[in-house]
Structure 1
């Protein structure tokens, strides 16, 4: 285990945070170790192949109108303004998605 991983593990354990180390390391690379531990639970959205897959799934879960149109038009996948999604979410190379907090 690298020094960074050991440091993050110690910080997370001290904070009572039990998370996947790879996800925490990805987040810490974007926001810094201390902030990552403090805000991880609020920011972490899970693991997705692409940010676009996350966006479509999130819209299916939260937007009744989007879901109704999507379900009535099987095989159709609307294009999304991914630049707008990228303002609020980060997708790492290992597939983790984090919300800006």
Structure 2
């Protein structure tokens, strides 16, 4: 009984963390792109990129944890969440790679 409670709590934590960090990464990406048009200071842009990198890594971690929990629970109704979590992980990983290449190119 206690094991079921721990698994359910870990699943809820990982799914909520995935959604939170995914939305936060979208907001930070929008602020960064708007900051380019509004001509933010270079230090502010660098801070936003570093913060976005940390949020993307946290989202990938929580997303992978969520995928593992979904595979452990194995309910058929969780298939849509599984697909959405994989799409979020792919999005965050690709944005993380893009910003790593850009920061290496511009040497931020």
Q: Calculate the TM-score normalised by the size of structure 2.
A: 0.26
Higher relative contact order (CA 8 A, sep 6+): 2
More helix by share: 2
Q: Calculate the TM-score normalised by the size of structure 1.
A: 0.27
More strand by share: 1
